[in-house]
Structures are given as C-alpha cells and as structure tokens.
Amino acid sequence: MVRLSRTIRFCINPSERHPTDTPRNGFGGKPPMQGLGRYYEITIEAAGEPDPQTGYLVNIKVLDQAVRNGLIPLIERACRSHPDKNPVELMPELLAAISGELREASAQALTLRLTPYHSIQMTASNPTTALIRQQFDFAAAHRLHVPELSAEENLAIFGHCNNPAGHGHNYRFEPCVAVSLNTGKPDFTLGKLEQLAHEVILSRFDHKHLNHDTEEFGPSGVIPSVENIAKVFFDLMAPAVRDASSGKAELHAMTVWETDRTSCTYPADNPTTNSQ
C-alpha cells in the first residue's frame, strides 16, 4: 500500500465571478487572487495499491477535480454566509464531500490550511475529531552539558553547543490539539490556543537562557535539547488544554523546531500529516 499526498491551492474572492481564462500558476492558486481575497490550501492524502499498468494510485487530476467540485463550493458558501464560523465545524462536511467525490482511492486524511502556520486536519479513521495546529516562535539561549562528564567528553558529544556561555536559537513550536465533535458545537478555538501558548510557554521561555532562567532546564531539570524541550512543552500544555476545554480537547502532540532543519515531535505517534 502507498500513500499519496496532493495539495490544491485556491482563493475565495470578494466577487463570485471567476475568470474563465487565467495563466497557469501553481503557486497562485485556482481561482487566483482577486482584490482582497482569501487564500487557502487543501491537502488530500489517499491510500491504496497503485495500478500495475500506469503506476498511479489515483490520477492527481482526479484529486484536483474532486476538491474543486466538492470542497471549494462548500468553503465559498461558508465564507459568504457564515464568515465567523469555527472552521473546525466545517471539517466533517469537507471529509464527507471528498469521500463522495473519490472513487479510485480512499481519502485517508484531509487538511485545510488557513494560513502558512495554521491548519485543521481530519482523518477518515476518526471523523469526529479535528486536529488544530498553529505555530509560534520564541528566542532563547541554551547550553548542552552533562555535569557528570568531563570537559573533554562534553566537547566531544556536543561540540560548539557546549560553549560555556551558551548559544541562541530562534525556536518554533507547534501544538497539535485534538478537538472532539462528539460533544456538540466545538468551543475550543484558535484564540484559546493562542492564549494558552502565550500563558504557558511564551511567558515562561521567550528571551530566556533556558539553563539559568527556567526551572525545567535548570540545575535540577533536564538538558535543554530539542527532544527534551518538546516533551517539557507537551507536559506543560496538555493539562492547560484539557482544563480550558473542560475535557473536550486534548493536546495530541507538540513539535519544536530548533532550526529549519532540526525538529522533534512528542509523542512520536502523531497524526499522518505534520506541518512544514
């Protein structure tokens, strides 16, 4: 079995009239932007066995057309008639629509990206739960050092990261919150996630030297590796999400980027699609 991912870009524009002949631009979306429009991305993940003759699981043109026929009109109607709607509420309808459009392969997951750093995902295996992701950034310094090891051993393991004065990173972190739709209208919003991220993480760790200024990574804490930061952030935010939602939402995973090339997700069994 293989898993195929396809991203479709499009805009919801102020005018309901779409240009009939537009230049091909994969980055611009279709329909393209007009005036002060809204830009979205939808990613479909399909799974199955490829056709032995063509090598295709499903022709990507079929995926594109399924989104344009079945999903974009739903989003456009929601934007015009209920612009304040929690997008989480739209996900079951979108997942059902794409499942109805596809015949050649089963849709395993659907992700609606509302901004480059905020997305909502729903999987076919759990269509009553939406996964909300939002990225945040903060700056901090740290030093990787094991007191029980010699100076030579620490330098051999950590290299420049063992600099006694420490060094800095522009970190990013992304909570993934699972919101249940079984309990009626979901009231856990992006606004709540933003508030919790500020109160629980940013106010505590932003512009700090993690080894010197924080209990979690201080002398009695753990080494501030990206692996440990992801786990500490998860352990701090999980009860806050649960309390803020009265148990209707749970922190599913936490991803932390130390650089654009190095990240860690805790716990490891996070959903099928992770953010960029």
The answer to whether 160 is a known catalytic residue is: no
Lowest-pLDDT choice from 19-33, 44-58, 115-129: 19-33
Give me the catalytic one of 161, 194, 227, 264.
161
By C-alpha distance, which of 163, 131, 175 is closest to 266? 175
The per-residue pLDDT for 48 is: 85
Q: Where does the pLDDT of residue 183 fall: very low under 50, low under 70, confident under 90, or very high at 90 and above?
A: confident
Mean pLDDT of 251-261: 97
Average pLDDT (34-39) is 90
Structural domain includes residue 253: yes
Residues 145 and 262 in one domain: yes
Active-site option among 18, 167, 198, 207 = 207
Q: Has residue 272 been placed in a domain? A: no
The reply to whether 157 and 117 lie within a common domain is: no
CA pair distance 167, 115, nearest whole angstrom: 31
Q: Work out the burial of residue 30: count CB atoms within 10 Å of its CB; fewer than 13 is exposed, 13-18 middle, 19 or more buried.
A: middle
Q: pLDDT tens-digit profile of 106-162?
A: 788 999 999 999 999 999 999 999 999 999 999 999 999 999 999 999 999 999 999
Helical spans, DSSP H, in the chain: 60-70, 72-81, 91-101, 151-158, 190-196, 203-205, 210-213, 226-244
Contacts of 86 (CB under 8 A, 6+ apart): 185, 186, 189
Average pLDDT, the chain: 90
Domain boundary among 124, 151, 181: 124
What pLDDT sits at residue 75?
Answer: 96
DSSP 156-169: HHHGGGG-TT-EEE
Looking at the fold, whether 139 and 257 belong to one and the same domain comes out as yes
Same domain assignment for residues 77 and 146: no
The model's pTM is 0.90
Whether 58 and 88 share a structural domain: yes
Q: Specify whether 84 is located in the same domain as 148.
A: no
Q: Are residue 89 and residue 184 in the same domain, yes or no?
A: no
Tell me, yes or no, if 252 is annotated catalytic.
Answer: no
> In the predicted model, is pLDDT for residue 273 greater than 90?
no
Residue 145 annotated to the active site: no
In a domain, 41, yes or no: yes
Q: Indicate if the pLDDT at residue 175 is higher than 80.
A: yes
Q: Which residue has the higher pLDDT, 270 or 209?
A: 209
Q: Which domain holds residue 224?
A: 134-266
Q: What is the pLDDT of residue 271?
A: 47
Q: Does 24 share its domain with 98?
A: yes
Q: Are residues 120 and 138 in the same domain?
A: no
Residue 174 lies in a domain: yes
Q: Name the active-site residue from 76, 174, 216, 258.
A: 258
Tell me how many domains the chain contains. 2
Beta strand pairing call for 106-115 and 118-123: antiparallel
CATH number at 102 reads 3.30.479.10
